[in-house]
């Protein structure tokens, strides 16, 4: 879809999973995109097809350092999202969330840009309220191994709302629930990508704990639609707004669906449950429906089929080159 008003849009973390889809969507809408990434978990492969686009520009930059550019809108997505990646250098994870937010908010203030924050369902921690609504304050272990991410993102939300109250910044805070699809990192350990790769290789499926913990998985195209609608919503719609697919299932059920879909001979293999792993998670998306007229359109089956096709292609390319 082409638009009439071309905007200059900064996407931090633009070479990551969600960021690369967002850059492509914004270019398709006729905007100019400035993509910033330090390639901590992102990859050039995710943006390679965008590099020749006349309105796409890439800068290798770490958002924990100040950035001086001129844009109309900022989507702040830079931050590792997978537990094994964000726990790999937890101090840097907190810096990315907190110093990164301060730098991007300072930029937004100077240039009077609208700014979107990729927050997370992890702000609810291991929730004692189900499904999770935005008014719930959460149940987070502040000193545990997930805290660098959870508390970093919570502090970033605080900063966004203080900049809004103190400096009248136009903010859009999205609480993203588990999202999956093409361009996920091959080895980032997130459950959907891990299970699909294990199934395609007929290797045992790694179930952490009993596998009775639940998650609700949203396909990436639905999520990107929500981001764009949120950015285009009236200024008074600040969030936080939950974004995710309420269709909840256990990790065992997810494994079974992926085995069936891929026709795999994989068996389930249980491992220790990581510390502080949330037991259940399901978004209440009433606010997203009310303010953005948004709800997910892609079923888990269709989304998984597309994701399996993507990883089949990635694995066959790796096999060809090895
Ligand atoms: P991702 O790891 O694929 O992408 C993150 C990107 O940020 C990567 O390209 C990485 O290199 C970059 N990055 C990390 N630290 C940086 C820094 N200091 N400076 C510049 N770039 C940096 O993860 P994703 O799934 O695309 O997640 C994107 C955002 O959405 C993250 O902020 C994440 O917390 C949030 N989120 C994602 C999910 C999900 O299920 N995918 C759920 C909740 C929240
Ligand atoms: N999980 C699993 N096996 C894996 C990877 C993850 O059983 O190989 C479980 C993990 O313990 C968690 C859920 O799947 O309960 C989702 O994990 P993920 O890392 O994708 O995201 P989270 O929602 O925990 O941040």
Both tokens of residue 253? Answer: 């059920």
Choice among 124, 149, 180, 219 that is catalytic: 149
Ligand 1 geometric centre to CA of 59 (Å): 16
Q: Give pLDDT tens digits for 42-74.
A: 999 999 999 999 999 999 999 999 999 999 999
* % residues pLDDT > 70 (the chain): 98
Enumerate the β-bridge partners of residue 207.
270
* CATH of 8-321 given 3.10.560.10, 1.10.3290.10, 3.40.50.800, 3.40.50.720: 3.40.50.720
Both tokens of residue 131? Answer: 């499904």
Enumerate the β-bridge partners of residue 62.
none
Among 68, 69, 77, CA closest to 46? 77
pLDDT score recorded for residue 184: 96
Q: Give pLDDT tens digits for 92-106.
A: 999 999 999 999 999
pLDDT score recorded for residue 262: 97
Q: Does residue 178 line the site of ligand 1, with CB under 6 A?
A: yes
Spell out a b/e string for 269-299, using b for 16 or more CB atoms within 10 Å of the CB, else e: eeeeeeeeebebbbbbbebbeebbebebebe
Q: Which ligand is nearest the CA of 120, by number?
A: 1
Q: Which atom of ligand 2 is nearest to the CA of 211?
A: 7
Both tokens of residue 292? Answer: 């953005």
**Distance between CA atoms of 116 and 231, rounded to whole angstroms?**
7
Orientation of helix 251-262 relative to helix 191-200, angle to 10°: 40
288-296 contacts: CB < 8 A, separation 24 or more? Answer: 288/226, 288/241, 288/242, 288/243, 291/233, 291/237, 291/241, 292/226, 292/229, 292/230, 292/233, 292/237, 292/241, 293/229, 294/225, 294/226, 294/229, 294/243, 296/218, 296/219, 296/222, 296/244, 296/245, 296/247
Confidence bin at 2 (pLDDT 50/70/90): low
Q: Which atom of ligand 2 is nearest to the CA of 195?
A: 8
Confidence bin at 319 (pLDDT 50/70/90): confident
Residue nearest ligand 1's atom 15 by CA: 79
Q: Which ligand is nearest the CA of 177, by number?
A: 1
Is the per-residue pLDDT at 321 higher than 90?
no
| pTM exceeds 0.95, yes or no | yes
- Does the annotation count 310 as an active-site position? no
Measured in whole angstroms, how far is the alpha carbon of residue 246 from the centre of its chain? Answer: 16
**Distance between CA atoms of 280 and 183, rounded to whole angstroms?**
26
Residue nearest ligand 1's atom 21 by CA: 37
Both tokens of residue 260? Answer: 């069936």
pLDDT score recorded for residue 188: 86
């Amino acid at each position: 879809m082409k638009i009439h008003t071309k905007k200059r849009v900064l996407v931090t973390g633009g070479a990551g999973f969600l960021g690369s889809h967002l850059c492509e969507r914004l270019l398709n809408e006729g905007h100019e995109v400035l993509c910033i990434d330090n390639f901590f978990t992102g990859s050039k492969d995710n943006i390679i097809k965008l590099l020749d686009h006349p309105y796409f520009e890439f800068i290798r930059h770490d958002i924990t350092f100040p950035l001086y550019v001129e844009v109309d809108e900022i989507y702040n997505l830079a931050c590792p999202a997978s537990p094994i990646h964000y726990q790999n250098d937890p101090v840097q994870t907190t810096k990315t969330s907190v110093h990164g937010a301060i730098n991007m908010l300072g930029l937004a203030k100077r240039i009077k840009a609208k700014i979107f924050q990729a927050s997370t369902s992890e702000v609810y921690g291991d929730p004692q309220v189900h499904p999770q609504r935005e008014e719930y304050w959460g149940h987070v272990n502040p000193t545990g191994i997930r805290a660098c991410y959870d508390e970093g993102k919570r502090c970033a939300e605080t900063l966004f709302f203080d900049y809004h109250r103190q400096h009248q910044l136009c903010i859009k805070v999205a609480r993203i629930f588990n999202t999956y699809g093409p361009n996920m990192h091959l080895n980032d350990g997130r459950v959907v990508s891990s299970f699909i790769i294990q199934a395609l290789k007929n290797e045992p499926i790694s179930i952490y704990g009993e596998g009775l913990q639940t998650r609700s998985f949203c396909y990436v195209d639905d999520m990107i639609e929500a981001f764009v609608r949120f950015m285009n919503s009236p200024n008074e719609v600040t969030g936080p707004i939950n974004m995710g697919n309420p269709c909840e299932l256990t990790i065992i059920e997810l494994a079974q669906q992926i085995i069936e879909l891929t026709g795999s001979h994989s068996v389930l293999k249980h491992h220790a449950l990581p510390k502080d792993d949330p037991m259940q998670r399901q978004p209440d998306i009433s606010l997203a429906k009310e303010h953005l007229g948004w709800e997910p359109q892609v079923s888990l089956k269709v989304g998984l089929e597309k994701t399996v096709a993507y990883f089949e292609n990635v694995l066959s390319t790796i096999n060809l080159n090895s």
